[in-house]
Amino acid sequence: MSFFRLAEEPLIIAGPCSAETREQVLQTASELKNIPVRLFRAGVWKPRTKPGSFEGNGEKALRWLQEVKQLYELPVAIEVAEAAHVELALQYGIDVLWIGARTTVNPFHVQQLADALKGVDIPVMVKNPVNPDVDLWEGAIERFERAGISRVAAIHRGFSSYHASSQYRNQPNWVIPIELKRRRPGMYIICDPSHISGKRALVGQVAQKALDMGFDGLMIETHPAPEAAWSDAAQQITPAQLKDLLGKLIVRKHVTADMGKATELEYLRQLMDTVDAEIMELLRRRMELSERMGVLKKDCNMTVYNPDRWREIVEARSDQAGKLRLSADFVLSIYERIHHESIKKQLEILDSRDKPVKD
């Protein structure tokens, strides 16, 4: 079966967080057989935060996955974190491998896995690192490509956060996978709404948002009795719930065949390009004012940063945002970057003027 080929319908990957018992694995697979699931996933080795937790059944579980392939004709995927895992996965005929977030964060481990796969033609999926670093994510992907793996996909599973009030287990930070897609337009990107949400009630909501943004597939943890799962019980759903969820998802297209709508869309894009050009010009003018202010501050022996002035800007722009029905958080995030660049330019002016002039 060919994986990671861009298609109209999203690739659906499903299966339990952990392969707990033979009965649990086979029951899940049998119930998924009649759902449009193209790849069966199961955790064989589980990297847990604390010792003493269930860390997977290892090689024994690989035999169960062999049965899934034979009985239900479902290709199977597992996570690998060590070269020894790769060797066993290949020995037992695993169809697809994925690299977990805790492994992706370590280039040394990623390289060891890439080296173990040299000369092997097998699809590999790379989850984003636990921290929001698109360069680290892309770097892990490149290591497998350089090892000769031609079918590499990315999995967005969200990013760790210390915000206890968040509704998600892992922050989506959608801008990161969007940037990866910009850098690699042909890259197949799958969303893992189970790990992003951390709650089964939110899985469908996150899955729909991913499809709305053009993700190519979904990886959803599925268990016949989620409440009794040995790991990540709160985020898993039953096969019946998965079937219901998939039936409600709206799959959107990247283009439209309606020429009238396509023409209108192109017109709006041209208007947007014009507005963007105006914004760029305004930014140029604002940076010029910052430079002039830097010269004045140097002449008056003033500090570059003025907390009272910055506080005034924050309050004024927040108020303006509300009046214009714009998100205050959005507007302030932009002004924080503008303010940072303005301070940077003024510091450069002070630094250049402080240096002695050479003969």
Answer yes or no: do 229 and 96 share one domain: yes
Please give the distance of CA 46 from its chain centroid, rounded to a whole number. Answer: 20
Cα–Cα distance measured from residue 305 to residue 293, given in angstroms and rounded to the nearest whole number: 11
**Tell me, what's the pLDDT at 261?**
85
**Tell me, what's the pLDDT at 292?**
94
Q: What is the pLDDT of residues 116-143, one digit of tens each?
A: 999 998 999 999 999 999 999 999 999 9
Residue 54 lies in a domain: yes
| Burial group, residue 128, by CB count within 10 angstroms (0-12, 13-18, 19+) | buried
Number of domains in the chain: 2
Cβ atoms within 10 A of the Cβ of 230, count? Answer: 19
Answer yes or no: do 278 and 222 share one domain: no
Answer yes or no: do 160 and 90 share one domain: yes
Residue 2 lies in a domain: no
Sign of CA dihedral 218, 224, 229, 230: negative
Tokens for 117, please give them: 């796969």
Look at the block and give the residue holding tokens 């897609």.
181
* 41 three-state secondary structure: strand
Please compute the mean of the pLDDT values over residues 180-189 and round it to a whole number.
93
Cα–Cα distance measured from residue 104 to residue 188, given in angstroms and rounded to the nearest whole number: 17
Q: What is the mean pLDDT of the chain?
A: 92
Among the listed residues 99, 41, 32, the one whose alpha carbon sits nearest the alpha carbon of residue 72: 32
Residue 332 lies in a domain: yes
Please give the distance of CA 276 from its chain centroid, rounded to a whole number. Answer: 27
Domain boundary, last residue among 225, 248, 271: 248
| Residue 2 clears pLDDT 70, i.e. is over it | no
Cα–Cα distance measured from residue 101 to residue 203, given in angstroms and rounded to the nearest whole number: 19
Tokens for 247, please give them: 């039936």
Domain boundary, last residue among 215, 248, 281: 248
| Residue 357 clears pLDDT 70, i.e. is over it | no
Answer yes or no: do 239 and 264 share one domain: no
Q: What is the pLDDT of residues 321-330, one digit of tens each?
A: 999 999 999 9
Please compute the mean of the pLDDT values over residues 66-70 and round it to a whole number.
97
**Tell me, what's the pLDDT at 8?**
73
Answer yes or no: do 244 and 277 share one domain: no
Answer yes or no: do 99 and 168 share one domain: yes
* CATH code of the domain in which 143 resides: 3.20.20.70
Among the listed residues 281, 309, 295, 273, the one whose alpha carbon sits nearest the alpha carbon of residue 348: 295
Residue 113 lies in a domain: yes
* CATH code of the domain in which 338 resides: 1.20.59.10
Domain boundary, last residue among 248, 275, 304: 248
Cα–Cα distance measured from residue 67 to residue 81, given in angstroms and rounded to the nearest whole number: 23
H or E element in which residue 67 lies: helix 59-72
Answer yes or no: do 32 and 89 share one domain: yes
**Tell me, what's the pLDDT at 210?**
95
Residue range of the domain that includes 174: 11-248
Q: What is the pLDDT of residues 5-23, one digit of tens each?
A: 766 789 999 999 999 999 9
Answer yes or no: do 173 and 300 share one domain: no
Cα–Cα distance measured from residue 273 to residue 279, given in angstroms and rounded to the nearest whole number: 10
Answer yes or no: do 157 and 229 share one domain: yes
Cα–Cα distance measured from residue 171 to residue 162, given in angstroms and rounded to the nearest whole number: 10
* 221 three-state secondary structure: strand
Residue 6 lies in a domain: no
Residue 336 lies in a domain: yes
Among the listed residues 48, 45, 114, the one whose alpha carbon sits nearest the alpha carbon of residue 79: 45
Answer yes or no: do 288 and 324 share one domain: yes
Cα–Cα distance measured from residue 274 to residue 278, given in angstroms and rounded to the nearest whole number: 6
Answer yes or no: do 220 and 290 share one domain: no
Residue 112 lies in a domain: yes
Confidence of residue 46 (pLDDT cuts 50, 70, 90): confident
> For residue 222, what are the β-bridge partners?
237
Q: What is the pLDDT of residues 242-272, one digit of tens each?
A: 999 999 999 988 777 888 888 888 889 999 9
